[in-house]
Amino acid sequence: MAFPDSVEQLITELAKLPGIGRRSAQRIAFFILGQPPEEAGFLSQAIVDVKEKIHFCRRCFNFSEDDLCIYCRDPRRDASLICVVEEPSDIIPIEKGGDYRGLYHVLGGALSPLDGVDPEHLHIRELVDRVGKGEVAEVILATNPNTSGESTAMFIAEELRGKVRVTRLASGLPVGADLEYADEATVSRAMLGRREI
């Protein structure tokens, strides 16, 4: 069916969002059409605001409205610990875990030479500089446990060798998982990383 141009345009834009197919986009577009104008205004303004106000933290490259992000600004965070993640969204699960009270460093991706992502495209130099200032006791590499995340972790570990203690998040069976359904790579990692109890 043919929609008016502006509706079609909205559906197209909505369908670009992650997890939104054409059908959901249509549903959302009709919902927006049915809303009071001020409600739709809140949404469009929130998008404009977030793009205007949010920048990268000068120190750790997390998203921030200020020069420094909420973690870098917080004096209660342990500045001797840096947890290195690929993207700002990776900070969420770590914060939810609740055990970590150090700072972060967002790389802005993971090494992937085939996609043209080389070390100079990530904030690795800035990490080395942070460590070089001498206040950091440990760098925890929390890049994703996949090929590009692992090679990024290996590369950074090499860059920081001898300068600071470098650790990597444990790999193994997820809590609540069923051994029967775990994939071989995960079981193999869990076996290699086994600990005495």
The residue assigned the tokens 């692992």 is 150
Would you say 122 and 156 are in contact if contact means Cβ atoms under 8 Å apart? no
Would you count residue 162 as binding a second copy (CB under 8 A)? Answer: no
* DSSP label of 173: P
Residue placing its CB nearer to a second copy in the complex, 28 or 190? 28
Query: Binding mask 75-114 vs a second copy (x if CB under 8 A, - otherwise)?
Result: ------------xxx-xx--xx------------------
Which residues inside 17-36 make contact with a second copy, applying CB under 8 A? 17-20, 24, 26-34
Would you count residue 185 as binding a second copy (CB under 8 A)? Answer: no
CB atoms within 10 A of CB 40: 15
87 to each of 25, 52, 62, 184, how far by Cα in Å?
A: 26, 20, 8, 27
The residue assigned the tokens 């359904």 is 181
13 to each of 17, 22, 168, 197, how far by Cα in Å?
A: 7, 10, 39, 53
DSSP-derived 3-state class of residue 111: coil
Query: Binding mask 41-60 vs a second copy (x if CB under 8 A, - otherwise)?
Result: xxxxxxxxxxx-xx------
Q: Which of 59, 60, 61, 64 binds a second copy (CB under 8 A)?
A: 64
- Report in angstroms how near the CB of residue 92 gets to a second copy at its nearest: 6
Which residue ranges make up the site for a second copy (CB under 8 A)?
A: 1-7, 9-10, 12-14, 16-20, 24, 26-34, 37, 39-51, 53-54, 63-65, 69-70, 87-89, 91-92, 95-96
